[in-house]
Structure 1
Amino acid sequence: MQKNKTLPDQRMIKKITPGLLLLGVALSCTNKEHKMESYKWPDAAAPVAAVNPFVRTLHGDTVTDNYYWMIDYFKKGKDSSKVVDYLTAENKYLDTMMSGTKTLQEDLFKELKGRVKEKDESVPVFRNGYFYYTRTEEGKQYAKYCRKKGSLEAKEEILLDMDEEAKGLPYYQAGGFTISPDNKMMAYGVDKVSRRQYVIHIKNLETGALFKDAIPNTQGDPVWALDNKTIFYTSKNEVTLLSEKIKKHQLNSDPKQDLTVYEEKDKSNYIGVGKSKSGKYIFIYSQATLSNELKMLDASTPDQPFKSFQPRQKDMLYEAFPLEDKFLILTNWKAKNFRLMECPLDKTGMENWKEVIPHRQDVLLEGVDEFKTHVVVTERKNGLTQLRVRTIGGPEYNIAFEEPTYTAMVGANPDYNSKTLRYIYASLTTPSSTYDYNMDTKAKKLMKQQEIVGGYNKEDYTSERLYATAKDGTKVPISLVYKKGLKKDGNAPLLLYAYGSYGSSTDPGFNSSRLSLLNRGFVYAIAHIRGGQEMGRQWYEDGKLMKKKNTFTDFIDCGQFLIDQKFTSKAHLYAQGGSAGGLLMGAIINIAPEMWHGIIAQVPFVDVINTMLDESIPLTTNEFDEWGNPKQKAAYDYMKSYSPYENIEKKAYPNMLVTTGLHDSQVQYFEPAKWVAKLRATKTDKNILLLKTDMDFGHGGASGRFDYLKDVALNYAFLFALEGINK
């Protein structure tokens, strides 16, 4: 179940920037060894998009949009083929302009892929008598989902071979794996288009055959009742992709006959369905940015109606966790940074809530993981995650982490009766590490650290946590990493990344692909700007709605701080962001275009006003509390004052690489396409502007574990061309 205190991060994408990926080889070269003369960009003519004026008048304000016609592929309008022709022309132009880096891109792909341990296996997770794990094979793009009964020495069962399932498909994504209580069946969702519209399949694990019940147009979140024949799931609107209904499916029945057990009337709410760790309860959640409601059902009585845990109230978020004799409730009711409450199992209304952990001004209470004898609370203080273990009826303590900047999170812990906590730890220099931690004895065991093919010495790199001062005096954290020996003379190239929306915190984790930057002399930095939640709930609220511009100015101030500290200079400073982070990229080039030598904007959300006015576009109505509703004049005026597409001017802009996906369901392709077309027609410089559209993929890019590295190689080749690095 999604954490209810933060809106599910709908405009975020996976793989937009190096994160906790497979790890890799540290090269021994330096930036100086890679230097060459500046890359010779081909003298090619950029595509010129057709001008077809569309007039928008709202609140007495008239705007002419010359490229509105690009929406026609999405709307199935008369100009659909012209849209595809334009995107194809842009792809050809990119190929021409980057043709001199073809060998470099191929070498980078081999370098990145060479760091991936091709034959690998996850740490097994125990649940209901079985150990579950995934494993990958050499040369294969996808994983096998497997289990063993009772012991790791038992015979392996392959529950789903995703390499076999994905054969012949440009995109394949499977998820939401859930096993029936009797361990005989598996339900899971499959997306073959990359629009996050999943078909739920049910597999007989005894025979290997699929049931005929293929349930279309879902969120891919099947939940079994305890009767082993009833499945609850989220049904989506086929056009807007809104999660609208929770339905109930009976095994061996026609999905068209499935009953609706809940229908969401408020289009600003996301809905979904989940199950408690104990397996006793099924929850429906309905959540907007600022309020939510849970409905619950005893999993042993699937034909009974769901009952409200606590009716929704304005500006109140809550989440419930059942223990043996009570519920724990994580809530922001009279507690901006959230507090922990409890109530009886049979009296769940807020009038029965009693405080367990009070609100603290300097600590954000982020999550709860419940066990039969322990509770693990995830907290965030000074921007860093802490894991706090509470023994039910006994002592409590924090698990210690030693590095100055790091990522820590609770891992997969499906066994409610376990006394062992599995958690994940990583940093900018420490590979992703899985630990099993005995909550009684405090003994921890490293179960797996992501292997770095060819070896890796963390002592060759330095990570730091610094603070920039924003223009209003706010201290903004920056996490950064670089190879030792760096001269802070302003000549090093630096890539600055941020997201800064939805209260989504960007934690600093290890990344093997990033080594290709660091070993060529780059500094990599993360700006923990407002709009995320690193420094508490207020940090998020100070970077949304009518305070959204703080996100942009924070990022610019972080860039200036890194210049002032001689980590880099304007001639070598680059910025990267994707999705809502792509909005950030669009805003900063309008506000301070002279600061950046190059920008990578991935699936950027840049046409804010037009998208938020069109309720047929996925996510629009869900996100009024994040961005505002432009049908209200105050919101319209503020959004228009920063929306990247609306604020393009006749001036010089930095070099830019923009990417999108034709089937993107989160940020539709036409936003970046229109943005690039308008930039081309308006800007006064001769800097590079490239647009790449994945014609087969959506928001997250390619689905295979190797294919997406081609996009990483393209991004890096673009940066290296601008820096004069040829290998």
Structure 2
Amino acid sequence: MTNDSPAPASVSPASSASPVPPPAPARRPTIRSHHGDSFEDPYEWLRAKDDPEVIAHLEAENAHTDAALAHLEPLRERIFQEIKGRVRETDLSLPSRRGDWWYYARTVEGKQYGIQCRAPIAGPDDWTPPVLAPDVDVPGEQILLDGNAEAEGHDFFSLGSFDVSSDGTRMLWGVDVTGDERYTVRVKDLTTGEVLPDVLEDTFSGAQFLPGGAHIVYTTVDDAWRPDRAWLHPVGSPGRDDDREIYRDEDERFWVGAGVTRSDRFLVLQSGSSITSEVSLVEAAHATDPDASPTVVWPRREGVEYGVDHAAIDGEDWLYILHNDGALDFELVRARVDSPDQTKTVLPHEPGRRLLDVDCFRDFAVVEYRQDGFPRVAVLDYRTHQLTEIRFDEPLYAAGLGGNPEWAPPVLRVGHASFTTPAAVFEYVLETGELILRRRAEVLGGFDPDDYAQARVWAPAQDGTSIPVSLVWKRSFGEPGTAPRPVHLYGYGSYEHSIDPAFSVARLSELDRGVVFAVAHVRGGGEMGRQWYEEGKLQSKRNTFTDFVDVARHLVDGGYTSPDRLVAEGGSAGGLLMGAVANLAPELFAGILADVPFVDALTSILDPSLPLTVIEWDEWGDPLHDPEVYAYMKSYTPYENVREGVTYPRILAMTSLNDTRVLYVEPAKWVARLREVGADALFKCEMAAGHGGVSGRYNSWRERAFQLAWLFDVLGVADA
């Protein structure tokens, strides 16, 4: 039951006392020595994933956490029912036109996974999507793929590839049933319903058909889980024996990707590290010729990133190239396909306007960019190079290009989101500039967006930089800052990834209990442009951590909250942030929720045999070969900097056994070390999941309910 009355000014949260003692893994010291420094690691043995003793320890951790939080089971169930009660469980997505069909997905009450469907268009001029209802039959509907049937008998299910050939006659889909992000691709003939003999194992995500559907392009990974090769597969051939490798990158820092331009004119083969790109093109019509070889657009140069799309203007083929060569926030140029070095500027570099992407259509292009900290979308006129921004009437919002597979549409799908309004899809009419709302996610249970508010405030960092902070709250509890309130502070701050305005059904359960949700847009993210990212990576990484601490102090000093009513959350690289701030300022937080946390960063980045390590050197530095990077990373990596003699906030760390990006062993070691200094730390390991956690919508809701119940317990609002 929710309560709109203000929470009491002071709360003493319950502890996680448990009749089951915390597991205490054996200390078996190993010595790691680099650059004249030696570190004794007592828990590195937990890395042996196939060791029965390790599995037994993880299961003991889960049993301890279950016992410690058993008193929250009624609250978890209540939160789960709140989430479930706000979602229309039987629903249909907005249909998207491709060729002669409308494509959409169904969800069915009680079913974990979506069902992919299609229905025929009424005619070539039919661009108005049909209004679909869950309880009304759709004329001519075909069920293409039922995720629930695919997931039967598996504890985990993820769809990593799904594509229908351009002529609508064939479908491919790629499935992962363990969480390790290796997918098995299969093919179906949609005219006969026959599943073809093709079985492509150990592929990466994103397989798709070449135009016409006779061949599939896909990528595979090396032993370090790096996509390093692109292949062509002839449809109808069992296995991969007849497949031809068309591209390989031997550089361990580079990921390979493959796709087809919207125009169907080119197969694009892209290879990129965190700071360098190289794009090659093959005419799609000749890609299957044994003698066809990719043509490099611009040879790679260290530190130069670029992306390419194809436009056909007045009968000529052009490449639109977005790049950062001498342009920190990127500029857009164009060149003829046969002379890519002879460029003409389309959108010059403008400091503070971070160009993100360009998508070419037959009659116009779409440019996505960041301005004033928010993502925006605009239509680009090919002839005048004028940008027309598609605007929405809301102070904090994110806009981006939606699903637009067609080459020459009269309307453009655009997505819109904010912290207080559910996600929506609009159609922008190119001829008139009109915006038509086609779908807004429905929230049940009496939800009214006017009951909630959002705002951006600025927190001073220790070096004088102003850090943007987004706040979301329920109006009936009063304006934040007028009295200390329970605050849930989220952060990430790596890879130029931005935490943009987005609506969350699950978040309503905390807002309705008087919790203020806040996002610290710390450096290392991309919210304020490329410089914002540069100031939070490599030898400036500490800015990410101190920014978050400074935001927390600002919220406390400004009367928004108090340390006993402040919980922090972050996941993956944001989990590194959580571990770092726990060491830097444990006194500021009542609790820290760390999801798949990268808390043993130095150990991982020192080992090039581990998945992704070499790729990550552009983000964190290379501690294996550079003693200064080693010393800098060692100064902040959470596991090695757990402090004696301080009182840590309550900590909940969650991970997955089959995560290939941040290995389960990192939080397992971190929690063991925290307990050595007396911290109240809990650890939960999903035994059948990957980096994104459990699969299935109901499972995901229960996982979030588990996290929120713990968070409410720490904040003292568990009874609200």
Cα distance in 2 for partners of 1:52, 1:36 equals: 41
Q: Partner residue of 1:5?
A: none
Cα distance in 2 for partners of 1:481, 1:451 equals: 20
1:591-638 superposed Cα distances (whole Å, 9 cap, x missing partner): 111110000000000111110122222111111100111111111111
Cα distance in 2 for partners of 1:129, 1:307 equals: 33
Q: Per the alignment, in what secondary structure is the counterpart of residue 192 of structure 2?
A: coil
Q: Partner residue of 1:479?
A: 470
> Would the aligned equivalents of 2:11 and 2:564 in 1 still touch at CA under 8 Å?
no
Q: Does 1:370 align with 2:346?
A: no
Cα distance in 2 for partners of 1:30, 1:582 equals: 33
> Would the aligned equivalents of 2:18 and 2:64 in 1 still touch at CA under 8 Å?
no
Which amino acid is the alignment partner of residue 307 of structure 2? E
Q: Per the alignment, in what secondary structure is the counterpart of residue 658 of structure 1?
A: strand
Which amino acid is the alignment partner of residue 249 of structure 1? H
Which residue, 560, 571, 577 being the options, matches 1:567? Answer: 560
Q: Partner residue of 1:249?
A: 233
1:231-280 superposed Cα distances (whole Å, 9 cap, x missing partner): 1110112x321112111111222413322111111001111111111111
Which amino acid is the alignment partner of residue 455 of structure 1? G
Which amino acid is the alignment partner of residue 628 of structure 2? A
Within 5 Å, which residues of 2 pair with 1:24-423?
A: 29-30=4-5, 32=7, 38-39=13-14, 41-44=16-19, 45-73=21-49, 76=50, 80-151=51-122, 152=130, 154-237=139-222, 239-253=223-237, 254-302=239-287, 303=289, 304-324=292-312, 325=316, 326-348=318-340, 351-394=341-384, 395-423=386-414
Cα distance in 1 for partners of 2:604, 2:351 equals: 36
TM-score using structure 1 length:
0.92
Q: Partner residue of 1:636?
A: 630
Q: 1:154 to 1:299 in 2, by over 3 A?
A: farther
Q: Partner residue of 1:705?
A: 697
Which residue, 509, 515, 535 being the options, matches 2:508? Answer: 515
1:343-378 superposed Cα distances (whole Å, 9 cap, x missing partner): 012222xx3111110001121111112211111111
Q: Does 1:676 align with 2:675?
A: no
Q: Partner residue of 2:572?
A: 579
> Would the aligned equivalents of 1:188 and 1:221 in 2 still touch at CA under 8 Å?
no
Unaligned runs of 5+ in 2: 123-129, 131-137
Q: 1:499 to 1:404 in 2, by over 3 A?
A: same
Q: Partner residue of 1:646?
A: 640
Cα root mean square deviation, aligned: 1.8
Q: Does 1:655 align with 2:650?
A: yes
Cα distance in 2 for partners of 1:658, 1:183 equals: 45
Cα distance in 2 for partners of 1:477, 1:363 equals: 17
Q: Partner residue of 1:10?
A: none
Q: 1:67 to 1:296 in 2, by over 3 A?
A: same
Q: 1:321 to 1:105 in 2, by over 3 A?
A: same
Q: 1:500 to 1:128 in 2, by over 3 A?
A: same
Q: Per the alignment, in what secondary structure is the counterpart of residue 477 of structure 1?
A: strand
Q: Per the alignment, in what secondary structure is the counterpart of residue 473 of structure 2?
A: strand
> Would the aligned equivalents of 2:230 and 2:258 in 1 still touch at CA under 8 Å?
yes
Cα distance in 2 for partners of 1:114, 1:696 equals: 27
Shift in Å, 1:327: 1.1
Q: Per the alignment, in what secondary structure is the counterpart of residue 296 of structure 1?
A: strand
Q: 1:602 to 1:129 in 2, by over 3 A?
A: same
Q: Partner residue of 1:11?
A: none
Cα distance in 1 for partners of 2:656, 2:412 equals: 39
Shift in Å, 1:578: 0.2
Which residue, 603, 610, 616 being the options, matches 2:596? Answer: 603
Cα distance in 2 for partners of 1:572, 1:27 equals: 18
1:543-591 superposed Cα distances (whole Å, 9 cap, x missing partner): 1111111111111111111112211011101100000000000000111
Unaligned runs of 5+ in 1: 1-25
Q: Per the alignment, in what secondary structure is the counterpart of residue 439 of structure 2?
A: strand
Cα distance in 2 for partners of 1:678, 1:31 equals: 38
> Would the aligned equivalents of 2:252 and 2:615 in 1 still touch at CA under 8 Å?
yes
Cα distance in 2 for partners of 1:386, 1:40 equals: 44
Length, aligned pairs only:
691
Between the two proteins, what is the percent identity of the paired residues?
A: 38
Cα distance in 2 for partners of 1:376, 1:212 equals: 39
> Would the aligned equivalents of 2:485 and 2:515 in 1 still touch at CA under 8 Å?
yes
Shift in Å, 1:109: 1.1
Shift in Å, 1:154: 4.2
Q: Does 1:450 align with 2:441?
A: yes
TM-score using structure 2 length:
0.93
Q: Partner residue of 1:15?
A: none
Q: 1:174 to 1:35 in 2, by over 3 A?
A: farther
Q: Partner residue of 1:548?
A: 541
Q: Per the alignment, in what secondary structure is the counterpart of residue 315 of structure 1?
A: coil
Q: Per the alignment, in what secondary structure is the counterpart of residue 65 of structure 2?
A: helix
Cα distance in 2 for partners of 1:56, 1:175 equals: 37
Q: Which gives a bigger RCO, structure 1 or 2 (Cα 8 Å, sep 6+)?
A: 1
Shift in Å, 1:184: 0.9
Q: 1:649 to 1:37 in 2, by over 3 A?
A: closer
Which amino acid is the alignment partner of residue 216 of structure 1? E
Cα distance in 1 for partners of 2:171, 2:474 equals: 46
Q: Per the alignment, in what secondary structure is the counterpart of residue 517 of structure 2?
A: strand
Q: Per the alignment, in what secondary structure is the counterpart of residue 435 of structure 1?
A: strand
Q: Per the alignment, in what secondary structure is the counterpart of residue 323 of structure 1?
A: strand
Q: Per the alignment, in what secondary structure is the counterpart of residue 575 of structure 2?
A: helix
Shift in Å, 1:69: 0.1
Cα distance in 1 for partners of 2:449, 2:5 equals: 16
> Would the aligned equivalents of 2:5 and 2:476 in 1 still touch at CA under 8 Å?
no
Shift in Å, 1:643: 0.6
> Would the aligned equivalents of 1:373 and 1:419 in 2 still touch at CA under 8 Å?
no
1:415-474 superposed Cα distances (whole Å, 9 cap, x missing partner): 110131111111111111110011221111100111111221122111111111111111
Which amino acid is the alignment partner of residue 266 of structure 1? D
Cα distance in 2 for partners of 1:585, 1:248 equals: 43
Q: 1:141 to 1:233 in 2, by over 3 A?
A: same
Cα distance in 2 for partners of 1:665, 1:34 equals: 43
> Would the aligned equivalents of 1:374 and 1:419 in 2 still touch at CA under 8 Å?
no
> Would the aligned equivalents of 1:661 and 1:696 in 2 still touch at CA under 8 Å?
yes
Q: Partner residue of 2:127?
A: none
1:509-543 superposed Cα distances (whole Å, 9 cap, x missing partner): 11111011011010000111111111010111111
Q: 1:652 to 1:28 in 2, by over 3 A?
A: closer
Q: 1:279 to 1:154 in 2, by over 3 A?
A: farther
Cα distance in 2 for partners of 1:673, 1:57 equals: 22
> Would the aligned equivalents of 2:179 and 2:659 in 1 still touch at CA under 8 Å?
yes
Cα distance in 2 for partners of 1:521, 1:448 equals: 29
Cα distance in 2 for partners of 1:375, 1:227 equals: 25
> Would the aligned equivalents of 1:490 and 1:569 in 2 still touch at CA under 8 Å?
no
Cα distance in 1 for partners of 2:296, 2:628 equals: 35
> Would the aligned equivalents of 1:492 and 1:521 in 2 still touch at CA under 8 Å?
yes
Which amino acid is the alignment partner of residue 104 of structure 1? L
Shift in Å, 1:400: 1.9
Q: 1:620 to 1:436 in 2, by over 3 A?
A: same
Cα distance in 2 for partners of 1:317, 1:560 equals: 37
Shift in Å, 1:391: 2.4
